Amino acid sequence: MKRFFLLLIIIALTLNLKAEDGYRLWLRYDKIDNNIILQQYRNAISSIHFYGSSPTLIAAKNELLQGLRGLLDKKIPVANTISNHSLLVYTKSSSVVALHTGIDYVALGKEGFVIRTILAEQKNIIVITANSDIGVLYGVFHFLRLLQTHQNIQKLFIKTVPNIQNRILDHWDNLDRTVERGYAGISIWNWHTLPDYIDQRYIDYARANASIGINGTVLTNVNADALALTKDYLVKVAALANVFRPYGIKVYLTARFSAPVEIGGLKTADPLDAEVQNWWKQKADEIYQYIPDFGGFLVKANSEGQPGPQSYGRTHADGANMLADALAPHNGIVMWRAFVYDVRAQKSNENFASPENKIDPNKETENIASPDRFKHAYNEFKPLDGKFRKNVLIQVKNGPIDFQPREPFSPLFGAMPQTPLVMEFQITQEYLGQGTHIVDEDPLFKEVLSIGTYEKGKGSTVAKIIDGSLEEHTVSGMAGVSNIGNERNWTNHPFGQANWYAFGRLAWDHDLTSEQIAEEWIKQTFSSDKHFIDVAKKIMLMSREALVNYMTPLGLHHIMGTGHHYGPAPWVSNAGRADWNPVYYHRADSAGIGFDRTATGSNALIQYKTEVSNQWNDVNTCDEKYLLWFHHVGWNYKMRSGRNFWDELCFKYYSGVDSVKWMQQQWNSLKNFIDEERFQQVKMFLAIQEKEAVWWRNVCLLYFQTFSRMPIPAIYEKPDHTLEYYKNLKFPYAPANPS
């Protein structure tokens, strides 16, 4: 019996299939399981020379030593003399540059780095070098990634500089540790035990972010609480900033516009009031005393009940500029969100001192007949182009409505040449299956970044607007709403980690392909087995399209349940505002379905450059994936497949579900390739995903059928419940209701 167990242990060790709880993310540093590659690496790295001892360089050195020790299963000595196969790590200013490596440091800027094999004094040496300490840290992480992904390191010549300056995670974390639209437990910021207790998780959070180039974190929810700006919290924020600083990560806070009233005792928060301006100046000075490298403010104003300058009859520029002036002496920035559609706020002149002023989405209030919500942000912000201070960036969600599975790009990209625009993506999967669906978001991010806006003719992609290269802005940014919580594996779904990873990698280099990013992540996170990679990559790369098909195909949007946004509810018509209702968006009737945004309808298409609107204006040439975003089409409308619209809709919904079933089969075939723990987690989540995909399909088809009056083609399995049954479902357990 004893022998049997011994044998089992030996088998388990050889297969290296130990239990994994996912905590280590993509920084696993387990011994390289390919002996030939392992030997090559061991030969190529005989000793390490590390120059410098700043906190950042110490972090880099520790990471390198720890990483190599794990990957090579060997302690690499730190030496003082350079020998054959040394690994040299240094910044430009260190004396080792006497080696004449011919590196062009000017091109590297503040954060870029070079990893290069050189032959010096007859020795084969690998150098990792940069202008700055943080550049070196990024280089070290990149080097470790090369090993983790089994790249050839014989003749390295890598030079990389980030495309975008501010690469930021936005946490929608409330001070009570609930997380708005969070599906991975509570907030990782434990305000109660800070500043004295430094959870190891804070350090690992910083390591993970630095490894993919993220250099900023907004700690608090955009639905902001002014308390975060009080001294009690600032000392806690400072403690986090101290942990993150060596990893090149700046902290930011959300600024509640009414803070001067709520915590400052002033009667108004009017941005043109001298006392208010002074209050913010003093507040900024105070913040910088605690956090000398504080990044700045993120602001949601006059949106969904949040206070803002319009509450005082002022413009978004008045509000943003006031904060920008307070931060400017300290080099801070303001990221002012363009997510506005709040007609009510413009009209009122309320004092927002109390949280009761928040709009309660569950309360029936007056049904404001608003114009197309799609057009609102553009109408509001375009006229302000050129009116913002230099340290204001306008943060725009990728699409005009709200992080739907597929949206056309926001028309603000391409419409504000004088203003740096921050791209806001949502990493957390509010509308993408929340915490339980595999949806690789990278193809969604890429789809938006690579599309042409025609701001300056051909080639004016969204990416070039964001990175500032099109208009030569001196500041740029990309923000991702975080999907991290205190679950052991950070994101709850093991594949949620991939979206955090992809966001960081793309913010650094938006030319990376989805295939590359997925493959890197799989190798580091799971396995370098070719079959495993191929299958997992296929699952990832098709997952977003599968979700679009089983949730909102052909341009459907915003048809989810009210409040929690969990599951389908296309029939809802009684929400607090007209434009919170699914019926407002799909407009299904006996004639057809979809939102006419051409000249015969809301004319939102006019907000795009003609080259773009021409692509979508004509129902016969409009890309079918955007069809219902722009057109109300008849049920019998002939699609390019030859099917009529109704049959095409059925086809899409059924193929979405089929894709999930395919994903399940594929995943099951991977059972023996990875640890049982994560294998089972993903398997269970896929079962939920399948159940929910069927639910979405059945609900949507049964509901839309009440308008089309056409049968679901007989080749498909019939929905197993009635529409009434689905309408009566309740979800008291659905996570993350809005705060």
Active site (catalytic) residues: 304, 402, 430
Among 172, 445, 703, 704, binds ligand GCW (CB under 6 A): 172
- Total residues at interface with ligand GCW (CB under 6 A): 12
Say if CB 515 and CB 541 are below 8 A apart: yes
The rounded distance, in Å, linking the Cα atoms of 208 and 481 is 16
Among 297, 403, 500, 637, binds ligand GCW (CB under 6 A): 403
Asked if 229 touches ligand GCW (CB under 6 A), the answer is no
Among 223, 398, 615, 689, binds ligand GCW (CB under 6 A): 223
Supply the DSSP symbol for 531: H
Query: 206 or 478, CB closer to ligand GCW?
Result: 478
Residues 93-132 interacting with ligand GCW (rule: CB under 6 A): none
Query: 208 or 396, CB closer to ligand GCW?
Result: 396
What mask of x and - would describe binding to ligand GCW in positions 361 to 400, judged by CB under 6 A?
A: ----------------------------------------
The sign one gets for the Cα dihedral 257, 259, 260, 266 is positive
Q: Based on C-alpha coordinates, what's the Rg of the chain?
A: 27
Q: Rounded to the nearest whole angstrom, what is the least distance from the CB of residue 566 to ligand GCW in the complex?
A: 11
Among 167, 181, 314, 597, binds ligand GCW (CB under 6 A): 181
Asked if 564 touches ligand GCW (CB under 6 A), the answer is no
Asked if 536 touches ligand GCW (CB under 6 A), the answer is no
Q: Rounded to the nearest whole angstrom, what is the least distance from the CB of residue 276 to ligand GCW in the complex?
A: 23
Q: Rounded to the nearest whole angstrom, what is the least distance from the CB of residue 636 to ligand GCW in the complex?
A: 35
Q: Rounded to the nearest whole angstrom, what is the least distance from the CB of residue 202 to ligand GCW in the complex?
A: 23
Q: How many CB atoms are located within 10 Å of the residue 245 CB?
A: 19
Asked if 204 touches ligand GCW (CB under 6 A), the answer is no
Structure tokens at 81: 């003399």
Say if CB 360 and CB 576 are below 8 A apart: yes
Q: Rounded to the nearest whole angstrom, what is the least distance from the CB of residue 579 to ligand GCW in the complex?
A: 12
Helices (H), 111-257: 133-148, 200-211, 231-244
Q: Rounded to the nearest whole angstrom, what is the least distance from the CB of residue 424 to ligand GCW in the complex?
A: 8
Say if CB 100 and CB 176 are below 8 A apart: no
In b/e form, how buried is each residue of 86-123, taking b as 16+ CB within 10 angstroms? bbbbbbbebebeebebebebeebeebbbbbbebeeeee
Asked if 148 touches ligand GCW (CB under 6 A), the answer is no
Structure tokens at 163: 């495309």
Query: 218 or 536, CB closer to ligand GCW?
Result: 218
Q: Rounded to the nearest whole angstrom, what is the least distance from the CB of residue 306 to ligand GCW in the complex?
A: 8
Query: 396 or 650, CB closer to ligand GCW?
Result: 396
Q: Rounded to the nearest whole angstrom, what is the least distance from the CB of residue 397 to ligand GCW in the complex?
A: 7
Query: 251 or 340, CB closer to ligand GCW?
Result: 340
Whole-number Cα distances in Å, 355 to 226, 358, 363, 368, 471: 11, 6, 15, 22, 40
Query: 312 or 339, CB closer to ligand GCW?
Result: 339
Q: Rounded to the nearest whole angstrom, what is the least distance from the CB of residue 725 to ligand GCW in the complex?
A: 27
The rounded distance, in Å, linking the Cα atoms of 18 and 162 is 36
What mask of x and - would describe binding to ligand GCW in positions 336 to 355, judged by CB under 6 A?
A: ---x----------------
Task: Tokens 């089309």: give the residue.
Answer: 708
Q: Rounded to the nearest whole angstrom, what is the least distance from the CB of residue 737 to ligand GCW in the complex?
A: 9
Q: Which residues contact 39 (CB under 8 A, 6 or more apart)?
A: none
Q: Rounded to the nearest whole angstrom, what is the least distance from the CB of residue 551 to ligand GCW in the complex?
A: 15
CA angle 149, 152, 155 (to 5 degrees): 140
Query: 407 or 519, CB closer to ligand GCW?
Result: 407
The rounded distance, in Å, linking the Cα atoms of 192 and 184 is 20
Among 350, 402, 658, 677, binds ligand GCW (CB under 6 A): 402
Q: Which of 211, 222, 213, 138 is nearest to 168 (CA)?
A: 213
Asked if 585 touches ligand GCW (CB under 6 A), the answer is no
Asked if 257 touches ligand GCW (CB under 6 A), the answer is no
Query: 223 or 434, CB closer to ligand GCW?
Result: 223
Among 180, 380, 675, 692, binds ligand GCW (CB under 6 A): 180
The rounded distance, in Å, linking the Cα atoms of 534 and 16 is 20
Helix (H) and strand (E) counts in the chain: 22, 15
3-state SS assignment for residue 333: strand
Query: 339 or 653, CB closer to ligand GCW?
Result: 339
In b/e form, how buried is each residue of 393-415, taking b as 16+ CB within 10 angstroms? bbbbbbbbbbbbbbbbbbbbbbb
The backbone torsions φ and ψ at residue 41, rounded to the nearest 5 degrees and listed phi first, read -65, -40
Amino acid at 465: I
- One DSSP character per residue, 574-595 reads -SSSGGGSHHHHH---SSEES-
Structure tokens at 126: 């690998």
Q: Rounded to the nearest whole angstrom, what is the least distance from the CB of residue 735 to ligand GCW in the complex?
A: 12
Q: Rounded to the nearest whole angstrom, what is the least distance from the CB of residue 403 to ligand GCW in the complex?
A: 6
Asked if 173 touches ligand GCW (CB under 6 A), the answer is no
Rounded to a whole number of angstroms, the distance between the first and last alpha carbons of the chain is: 57
Query: 189 or 403, CB closer to ligand GCW?
Result: 403
Say if CB 345 and CB 339 are below 8 A apart: no
Q: Which of 683, 679, 687, 686 is nearest to 19 (CA)?
A: 679
The sign one gets for the Cα dihedral 398, 404, 406, 412 is negative
Q: Which of 92, 47, 97 is nearest to 72 (CA)?
A: 47
Residues 292-311 interacting with ligand GCW (rule: CB under 6 A): 300, 304
Asked if 175 touches ligand GCW (CB under 6 A), the answer is no
Residues 424-453 interacting with ligand GCW (rule: CB under 6 A): 430
Q: How many CB atoms are located within 10 Å of the residue 530 CB?
A: 8
Q: Which residues contact 658 (CB under 8 A, 6 or more apart)?
A: none
Query: 425 or 703, CB closer to ligand GCW?
Result: 425
Residues 466-495 interacting with ligand GCW (rule: CB under 6 A): none
Query: 417 or 738, CB closer to ligand GCW?
Result: 738
The rounded distance, in Å, linking the Cα atoms of 492 and 558 is 25
The rounded distance, in Å, linking the Cα atoms of 427 and 539 is 18
Query: 162 or 582, CB closer to ligand GCW?
Result: 582
Say if CB 429 and CB 357 are below 8 A apart: no
**Where on the chain is the footprint of ligand GCW (CB under 6 A)?**
172, 180-181, 222-223, 300, 304, 339, 402-403, 430, 738
